Structure 1
Amino acid sequence: MLYRLLTGLDDSAFCHKVSAALAQGWTLHEGPVYAFDAAAGVMRCAQAVVKDDHAPYSPEMKLGDQ
């Protein structure tokens, strides 16, 4: 199983990033996490995704290409 943690600002670009991963066969792993970045004054979010069907794991693989 492969694991990725998608992160970004709480905006539509982040939603598109998660949607693109889902379209590539990744599935959500639990719910999103939100945090306020006081230094930048913005909300940030993260969403873990996992994938069972993949090539053999290698530390050099680019998970976004899987």
Structure 2
Amino acid sequence: MFIQKASNYKSNVWIEKGERKANAKSLLGLLSLGIGKGSKIMLIAEGEDEAEALNELENYLISGLEESV
């Protein structure tokens, strides 16, 4: 679902974990990061709708964490 949301934006969207960065619109890219519970990540967007993308995707991730508690 996150990948679908990220794909709705024209901006490039990445997730960074440690020294590695992957395209947030790519399932294989995200899987390669090995993100798990408790992982610290950074969400990065660059492009014409970057502010909107970051805001919505951040809210999506936060709401998903709140639901799992």
Q: Normalization by structure 1: what TM-score?
A: 0.33
**TM-score, normalised to structure 2's length?**
0.32
* Higher strand content, 1 or 2: 1
**The structure with more helix, counted as a fraction of residues:** 2
Q: Which structure would you say has the larger Rg?
A: 1
